[in-house]
Amino acid sequence: MGIAVFASGNGSNFQSLIDCSNKENWEVPISLLICDRPNAKAIERAQAAKVPYRCINPHDFADKVRYEQEIVNTLEEYQIKWIVLAGYMRIIGETILNPFIGKIVNIHPSLLPAFPGKHAIEEAFTYPVKITGVTIHFIDEGIDTGPIIAQEAVSVDPDDTLASLEDKIHRVEHRLYPKIVRSWVEGKL
């Protein structure tokens, strides 16, 4: 009974989860990476960390239901109980959601409900807000909606650039997400 991480790109949050689980000897293993993009850096990270991975490309399937059914089959094969979205840039459909209700969490780089979607950091920076942050929440059928588990604020300082703000947010993500995921899967939330 393990954890699957879903990622689409760089995978720095996946890396921080792997690093913490190894360092802290988590009770529940990270047993699988699911990635929807063949060239994602997350795959290299899985290879380097010797975490099993499956690249499942939606373009290889006739529709979203069949794409997600292949994911569900893979999750069953690896006996996955918990799903951790870490920069997975697709909306989870009901094919995955129904069998994993309450078992999927996501991290988002803003204080939701502000700035949902794919460009949250840039939108907060250009708005401009003075405080943004990180949200960890359960997944439901919406985009970056679902009950909030944890939030941490990050200030946008006058001398911040978009790059420095991204860096500050990612540092919070890499600290907060492993902590919350561990508590969750160990039943201590």
Chain residues in the site for ligand GAR (CB under 6 A): 7, 9-13, 86-87, 107-109, 118, 120, 144, 173
Q: What is the DSSP string of 100-135?
A: GTT-EEEEESSSTTSS-SS-HHHHHHHTT-SEEEEE
Identify which of residues 1 and 131 has a Cβ nearer to ligand GAR in the complex. Answer: 131
For residue 76, the minimal CB distance to ligand GAR (Å) is: 25
Nearest to ligand GAR of 1, 163 (CB atom): 163
7 bridge partner residues: 35
Active site residue 108: yes
C-beta of residue 69 within 8 angstroms of C-beta of residue 95: yes
The residue (of 69 and 166) whose beta carbon lies closer to ligand GAR is 166
Residue 39, annotated as binding a ligand: no
3-state class of 169 per DSSP?
helix
Q: Is 90 annotated as a binding residue?
A: yes
Structure token pair of residue 97: 């959601």
Instruction: Give least dist CB 62 to ligand GAR, A.
Output: 26
Residue 22 marked in a binding site: no
In whole angstroms, how far apart are CA 94 and each of 50, 83, 136, 167?
Answer: 30, 14, 20, 33
User: Which residue in the list 59, 108, 170, 174 is annotated as catalytic?
Assistant: 108
Contacts of 122 (CB under 8 A, 6+ apart): 162
Dihedral sign (CA 108, 110, 112, 114):
negative
Report the residue number, 73 or 155, with the smaller CB distance to ligand GAR. 155
Residue 157 Cβ vs ligand GAR, minimum distance, rounded to whole Å: 19
Which residues fall in the annotated binding site for (6R)-10-formyltetrahydrofolate?
66, 89-92, 106
Residues with a known catalytic role: 108
Which residues fall in the annotated binding site?
11-13, 66, 89-92, 106
